[in-house]
Amino acid sequence: MSGVGSPGGQGTALPRAAAGSHSPPGSQPGQPRWQRWLEGWRLRTKLLVATLALLLLTCLTIGFFSHAVMNVYLTRQLDQALIGTSDRAAGFQFPHGRFPDPDRDPLDAPGQGRTGTLGVRVTDGAVVSAGVVQPDGSRAPLQESDLQVIAAVPPVREPVTRTLSLGEYRLMAQPQPGSAGTVVVSGLPLAEKNNTLFSLGLTIAGVSAAGLAVTGVLSYLIIRRALRPLEKVSALATQVATMPLESGDVDLPERVPEELTHPATEVGSVGLAVNRMLDNVSHALAVRQRSETQVRQFVADASHELRTPLTSIRGYTEMVRLTEDLSANGQQSLGRVEAESRRMTGLVEDLLLLARLDEGRGEVREEVDLTQLVIESVSDARVAAQDHNWTISLPEEPVIVQGDPGQLRQVLINLLTNGSRHTDPGTTISTSLAPASGGGAVITVADNGPGIPQAFQEHIFSRFTRADAARSGRASSGLGLAIAAAIVSAHHGSIHLESEPGRTVFTVRLPAGTAPDRGASSRPQ
């Protein structure tokens, strides 16, 4: 609806301007994506991931150091065996007591039958004999590329690692005693050591994976059980958050159980804080309700007391008009007093109606033909505002609801008067009635005026909500739409506003077969 008002000028007037759109605040521009991603995780997920990450780091650390220590140990053990092999090959004597025979193969020395043992004799840079022990005890020759690598090993009696066509080998070269220019090179394969390290790695990886899986399952169960009290506190807070606290006498009986409020635990501290907060909120709501009750009682009492003097003022003005010979200025002044007294009487009646609705007095239950009610209300509004264009859309069958016909008529009058009062001449005001899908009725009052500012839409159904009368040019009390909303709510219905420049729509939904639980007699006309 374009503006807010009620019959007799008692409406909520708002300036008609396009409301600026405000986009919801987003995430901080400088916030990393991974941080935004982690913020969406639940606490139990974070704890589980952190536990598994620490365990994985521990397993990796243990695996790395175990592999490193075992590598050093096996290498040292292999080097000791290689030194013995090299010493036996270099000092091989035949027959006993004589100097080594330079023509003898180093692999002929005792204890050289280990599979993969390599023996090479190099004299004056030329390979004299070379071979590698096979699994069946035989000896196989070496490739030329391997001989070149072996011949380049320095004769310093220090084990070195070289890669041959046979695989990785630990090699050691030393001069042969008693034979100038002759170097004996011995070697042992690293395959056994590498296989042992590989098996160790697989074992550590398997044990770590099994440990991570078992720890993950147990941690999930433990964390879930540990956080279950916190979930109960969260569920309680969510339940309180969904309660209607904006008006009425609100009771907050829900509290965190005593077993979840132990201050020595983290969850207990949260539960204790939530209970204290609920106590504070409950006390504040009780104080607010007492204050609202006192204000409403005062308004009701004051309005009731004002009816008698206002009636007297109107009576005396009529008597003076009939009995006294007044000048033109006197007649004008007396007419002004009478008009203002009637306006004041309308305001007092509106306040009394709101007070009766708040107190739930005067319930009325009867069938109301909304089709006839809409026709009569639009006809009355057309007569009152002939400079506007009026359209009406009705269903073929009558729409019947239960309620107070006087109050429902006042809802329509307030909405229609609001549209005509706060829009320019020539504006089209459309009223439509349709049965609701689940029963009941839907009434819409729309206009093609300039719209209602977004800032006023949030408070448009509040009492005494209005714009500056000097700006709008139309004075109103700001009670018209508040009365309409209160009546619709008393009939268990809803009223909704949608407004933008060029289109404003008020939608009233009334259920079928309901009567107001806080009704009141309609205001005397």
179 contacts: CB under 8 Å, gap ≥ 6: 100, 102, 123
CA 431 to each of CA 290, 382, 391, 414, 437: distance values in angstroms, whole numbers, following the listed order: 40, 12, 6, 13, 19
Please give the single-letter amino acid code of residue 470. Answer: A
Say if residue 256 is exposed, middle or buried (CB neighbours under 10 Å; 0-12, 13-18, 19+): buried
Is the distance from CB of 4 to CB of 14 less than 8 angstroms? yes
Report the CATH number of the 360-510 domain.
3.30.565.10
Q: Which pair of structure tokens corresponds to residue 207? A: 């044990």
* Phi, psi dihedrals of residue 209, rounded to the nearest 5°: -65, -45
Reply yes or no: is the peptide bond before residue 229 cis, omega within 30 of 0: no
What is the C-alpha to C-alpha distance for residues 276 and 306, in angstroms, rounded to an integer?
45
Is the distance from CB of 90 to CB of 176 less than 8 angstroms? yes
Q: Which pair of structure tokens corresponds to residue 8? A: 């007799």
Q: State the number of CA atoms in the 13 A half-sphere of 167 facing the CB.
A: 13
In this structure, are strands 118-123 and 366-369 parallel, antiparallel, or unpaired? unpaired
Ranges of each domain in the chain: 54-198, 243-359, 360-510
In this structure, are strands 389-393 and 428-435 parallel, antiparallel, or unpaired? parallel
Q: State the number of CA atoms in the 13 A half-sphere of 279 facing the CB.
A: 7
Q: Cα 94 to chain center, whole Å?
A: 88
174 contacts: CB under 8 Å, gap ≥ 6: 86, 87, 90, 155, 156, 157, 183, 184
Of residues 174, 165, 177, 178, the one with CA closest to residue 120: 174
From first to last of its 525 residues, the chain has per-residue pLDDT tens of 444 443 333 443 344 443 444 444 445 556 677 667 667 777 888 888 999 999 999 999 999 999 999 999 999 999 999 998 888 888 765 445 555 555 667 777 777 778 889 988 888 888 888 889 998 888 899 999 999 999 899 998 899 999 999 999 999 999 887 777 888 899 999 999 999 999 999 999 999 999 999 999 999 999 888 888 888 888 888 887 777 776 666 677 778 887 777 788 877 888 888 888 888 888 887 887 777 777 667 766 666 677 778 778 878 788 887 888 878 888 888 888 888 877 777 777 777 777 777 666 545 678 888 999 999 999 998 998 899 999 999 998 888 888 888 889 889 998 998 888 888 899 999 999 999 887 889 999 999 988 888 878 877 887 766 654 433 444 556 677 888 888 888 888 899 999 888 889 999 999 876 544 444 333 333
Of residues 452, 439, 372, the one with CA closest to residue 412: 372
**How far apart, in Å, do the first and last CA atoms of the chain sit?**
24
CA 472 to each of CA 417, 424, 456, 468, 505: distance values in angstroms, whole numbers, following the listed order: 15, 11, 14, 6, 20
Report the CATH number of the 243-359 domain.
1.10.287.130
Q: What is the value of pTM for the model shown?
A: 0.49
Say what the alpha-carbon torsion angle 96, 101, 106, 109 is, to the nearest 10 degrees.
-10
What is the C-alpha to C-alpha distance for residues 267 and 450, in angstroms, rounded to an integer?
54
Of residues 417, 300, 435, the one with CA closest to residue 4: 417
Q: Which pair of structure tokens corresponds to residue 153? A: 């090993």
DSSP state of 440: S
- 3-class state of residue 164 by DSSP: strand
464 contacts: CB under 8 Å, gap ≥ 6: 12, 477, 478, 479, 482
